[in-house]
Structure 1
Amino acid sequence: MTGRAAPHLPSQGAELGTAAPFSPRLGDLARDTAHGGEIGVVIVLPGADAATYHLRPPGGGEEWTAPADGTTLRPVPAQVTYVASARRDVSYDHRAQQGALPVLVYFEDGGNTESLLVLDPDQLELIYYQVGRIIELREKARGGAL
């Protein structure tokens, strides 16, 4: 490292730690670092009626508060529901001895993003076997013989 600031990084400004704090909205999930990392639903926003955020566990339970500046709150990303092939060609880097399979990652909020499944030689052999096994099971379910 050079010791210089890297303002080109998306989460940084001219100096480290200058990213905007997380400001959740009513109903958002937030992880509270000051409350043991517990996840809560924001039920009250700081403002005229409250000096702090109020959160409650998603399934109900005891309410707690977090500072109005949001410094202890972190966003809770949507959970992955499944990953599917992106139907694009694969690649193999012989120098790194890694294969790459383009995939789409689907989230519980309905969003998706493209990514890569990177596989080393042992993982490639395992996937080869597993996909072959899936094909066998599919044929067996169809009543066909291999």
Structure 2
Amino acid sequence: MTRQPSPHLPSQGVELGTASPFVPRLGDLATDSAREGRVGVVVALPGEGSATTYHLRPPGGGTQWSAPADGTTLRPVPAKATHATLLAGGDAVYDRRARQGSVPVEFHFDDSSTFDGALILTTAELERLYAQTSRLLEAHERALGSTP
């Protein structure tokens, strides 16, 4: 499942606060704010069979609990980012007004999904990244035997 790209700034086309509500499905992982953020697998939905609430069970098994049928206490468990790579075909841009650079990247998550985003760097961060990537390139050249 690939996530849809989301522009970095609201002025680029996405309004704030327009996220659709979370409607858990069977098998989804969810955190329950009424249970101090406890994580559970949705094992029954309201309206299915005799269930009048969501029923969740800890991922490794254990005692089941209920959450309100409107799902207001449930939130999705986000996938964790594992790394980011440069976005193919993307080009870095420097914003003189903001005094920062933007490098298009693709974030990779532990559920194999990806998300297009941007690495935003201040001038100081750009200089630090330049120094670090220069050292990496020098190490690469030494490893190849190109540089004495």
TM range (shorter): 0.7 to 0.9
- Secondary structure of 2:132's counterpart equals helix
Counterpart-to-counterpart distance in 1, 2:63 and 2:138:
51
TM value normalised by structure 1: 0.77
SS of residue paired to 1:41: strand
CA distance in 2, matches of 1:63, 1:36: 15
Matches within 5 A, 1:10-49: 11-12=17-18, 21-46=21-46, 47-49=48-50
Deviation for aligned residue 1:137: 2.7
Q: Considering only aligned residues, what root-mean-square deviation do their CA atoms show, in Å?
A: 2.3
Q: Which residue of 2 aligns with 1:140?
A: 142
Does the CA contact (< 8 Å) of 1:21 and 1:70 recur in 2? Answer: no
Q: Distance in 2 between matches of 1:131 and 1:93?
A: 21
| Structure showing greater relative contact order (alpha-carbon pairs closer than 8 Å, 6 or more residues apart) | 2
Q: TM-score, normalised by structure 2?
A: 0.76
Q: Structure 1: 5+ residue runs without aligned partners?
A: 1-7, 13-18
The aligned runs of 1:1-146 (5 Å cut-off) are 9=15, 11-12=17-18, 21-46=21-46, 47-87=48-88, 88-145=90-147
Determine helix, strand or coil for the equivalent of 1:122: helix
Structure 2 alignment gaps of length 5 or more: 1-13
State, as a whole percentage, how many aligned pairs show the same letter: 50
- Paired residues in the alignment total 133
Cα separation, partners in 2 of 1:31 and 1:85, compared to 1, 3 Å: same
Cα deviation code 1:108-139 (max 9, x no counterpart): 23222211111001111111111112222323
Looking at structure 2, the residues matched to 52 and 143 of structure 1 have their Cα atoms a distance apart, in angstroms, of 66
